[in-house]
Amino acid sequence: MNYKPYTSIELFAGAGGLALGLEKAGFEAILLNEFDKHACATLRANRPNWHVVEASICDVDFSTYCGKVDFLSGGFSCQAFSDAGNKQGFDDIRGTLFFEFARAIKEVQPKVFLGENVRGLLNHENGRTLATIKNTIAELGYTLVPPQVLKAMHFQVPQKRERLFLSGGA
């Protein structure tokens, strides 16, 4: 039996926690993008075979991966939406990184995508920010699953962390 692994791209990869989970689930990471040089060093040390692109997402052309990726994921910058932050949303340059995430989806055309952020995004600006995100995803031709807040401790992770998950498919 010929087995072809599912392929993935991870944006805002950090030290690769999600990528490791995807690897265990049978995904082949074909690109990991991260801006922080120390996180990139960790990625390269732990998985020398991973293709790590150390650059701002704004400077990466994803079009060469069009039609070659099953799953695209990323935890786009959350400080602009966090209840602990200034809540400036898209007025904060970090908040606009969602649109770079959306550009990657447009260029790659993955079968499925997953975006991760803080719970505060759910009700930021009385839901207008999330409405903008939903509209952007729809304009890309994807159907967004109703966003969900998941608690890490319910998945045997020793944290009380809550994260909002945005997922969809073409």
CATH of residue 149: 3.40.50.150
DSSP secondary structure string, the chain? Answer: -----EEEEEES-TTSHHHHHHHHTTEEEEEEEES-HHHHHHHHHH-TTS-EEES-GGG---GGGTTS-SEEEE----TTT-TTS---GGGSTTTTHHHHHHHHHHHH--SEEEEEE-GGGGTGGGGHHHHHHHHHHHHTT-EEPPPEEEEGGGGT-SS--EEEEEEEE-
Q: Does residue 57 fall inside a structural domain?
A: yes
For residue 94, pLDDT over 70 is answered with: no
Residue positions annotated with a catalytic role: 78
Residue type, 149: V
For residue 128, what are the domain limits?
A: 6-169
Q: Does residue 128 fall inside a structural domain?
A: yes
Q: Does residue 1 fall inside a structural domain?
A: no
Q: Does residue 92 fall inside a structural domain?
A: yes
pTM, 2 dp: 0.88
Q: Does residue 107 fall inside a structural domain?
A: yes
Q: Indicate the number of domains in the chain.
A: 1
The model's pLDDT over 12-58, given as tens digits with 9 standing for 90+, comes to 999 998 899 999 999 999 999 999 999 999 999 999 999 999 999 99
Q: Does residue 21 fall inside a structural domain?
A: yes
Of 22-31, 85-94, 110-119, the range with the lowest mean pLDDT is 85-94
